[in-house]
């Protein structure tokens, strides 16, 4: 390896956009192992730069450093798979930015025609331009997910959440489902409207759980614990009444499907 392929920590920090402190932290966790030159100074070669890229990509997905270390030391810790995960997340962000650009262009065209932008258009532009914020209720679930999910399940959930979280269509779908659940409160959970809601709710969950029953069960366990905790329940997007109605409708739907399957055999 030539000298041109090796960099001092300060060069890596400046060019990548991280701090020396962060590099030291990753090194203490065993994620980076820079070579020492003849004078004992750390130097980063191509291998360590590639490893740093993996660390930063997985960290961006929301994974803790301990779990990143496990992934990178295992059979799945190859650069190709990490790049694929990061590419999926970036693709989602690009799609969101393209939608913002399209709406900005439409607004400029209206202004060029002498139109006055109505409040709803301005509000929509402001919403699309706002920096993404993690809802406070999502932070509630981090320790609960770690309690009820295996590390590999949690990894898959975090990656999917990162990829889907920026999708506005996904957000609108959940808002509509919660609104419909509140509208149906007090009705029979076995009624067709309630069963239809349960069916759509399950379909909306599927992209996050990947159709894994064990992962879905762990997520449900985390929800049940959060709903039952008075200190957490107030920070959730749905209250206990909505949750109980959805759970009842879901159980009826499952029973109906099992009975239908039994009749078909």
> Does 125 have pLDDT greater than 50?
yes
Average pLDDT over residues 236-261: 87
Tracing tokens 């192992």 back to the chain, one arrives at 33
pLDDT of residue 190: 93
- CA pair distance 171, 246, nearest whole angstrom: 18
The residue count of the chain comes to 265
Note the helical H segments in 113-239. 119-129, 136-148, 151-165, 168-184, 192-209, 213-228, 230-233
* Beta partners for residue 44, in sequence order: 7
- Radius of gyration, CA atoms only, the chain: 24
Residue-wise pLDDT tens digits, 59-88: 776 677 887 887 787 644 456 666 676 676
What is the maximal distance between C-alpha atoms in the chain? Answer: 78
* Greater model confidence, 104 or 89: 104
Classify 31 as helix, strand or coil. Answer: coil
- CA pair distance 2, 53, nearest whole angstrom: 21
- CA pair distance 32, 85, nearest whole angstrom: 20
Element (H, E) at 43: strand 42-43
The domain over range 3-72 is classified in CATH as 1.10.1660.10: yes
Model pTM above 0.85: no
- Distances in Å between the Cα of 96 and the Cα atoms of 76, 85, 106, 121, 132 are 29, 17, 16, 17, 11
pLDDT of residue 76: 47
Classify 72 as helix, strand or coil. Answer: helix
pLDDT of residue 264: 43
- Distances in Å between the Cα of 3 and the Cα atoms of 32, 43, 44, 47 are 19, 10, 10, 14
pLDDT of residue 27: 92
pLDDT band at 198 (very low <50, low <70, confident <90, very high): very high
- CA pair distance 124, 118, nearest whole angstrom: 10
- On whether the CB atoms of residues 24 and 124 are closer than 8 A, the answer is no
Low-confidence winner among 29-38, 150-159, 172-181, 199-208 (lowest mean pLDDT): 150-159
**Domain positions in the chain:** 3-72, 78-131, 134-264
Average pLDDT over residues 177-184: 92
- CA pair distance 236, 243, nearest whole angstrom: 11
* Averaged confidence pLDDT in the chain: 81
């Amino acid at each position: 390896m030539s000298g041109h392929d090796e960099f001092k920590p300060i060069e890596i920090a400046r060019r990548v956009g991280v701090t020396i402190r962060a590099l030291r932290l990753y090194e203490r966790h065993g994620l980076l192992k820079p070579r020492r030159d003849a004078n004992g100074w750390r130097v980063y070669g191509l291998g360590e730069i590639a490893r740093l890229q993996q660390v930063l990509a997985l960290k961006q997905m929301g994974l803790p450093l301990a779990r990143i270390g496990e992934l990178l030391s295992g059979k799945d810790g190859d650069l190709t798979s990490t790049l694929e995960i990061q590419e999926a997340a970036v693709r989602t962000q690009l799609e969101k930015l393209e939608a913002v650009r399209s709406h900005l262009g439409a607004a400029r065209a209206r202004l060029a025609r002498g139109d006055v932008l109505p409040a709803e258009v301005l509000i929509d532009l402001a919403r699309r331009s706002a920096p993404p914020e993690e809802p406070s209720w999502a932070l509630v679930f981090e320790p609960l997910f770690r309690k009820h999910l295996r590390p590999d399940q949690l990894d898959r959930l975090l990656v999917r959440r990162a990829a889907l979280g920026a999708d506005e269509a996904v957000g609108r779908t959940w808002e509509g489902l919660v609104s419909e659940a509140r509208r149906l409160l007090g009705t029979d959970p076995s009624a067709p409207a309630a069963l239809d809601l349960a069916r759509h709710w399950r379909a909306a969950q599927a992209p996050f759980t990947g159709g894994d029953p064990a992962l879905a069960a762990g997520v449900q366990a985390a929800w049940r614990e959060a709903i039952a905790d008075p200190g957490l329940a107030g920070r959730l997007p749905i209250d206990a009444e909505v949750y109980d109605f959805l759970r009842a409708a879901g159980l009826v739907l499952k029973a109906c499907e099992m009975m239908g399957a039994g009749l078909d055999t």
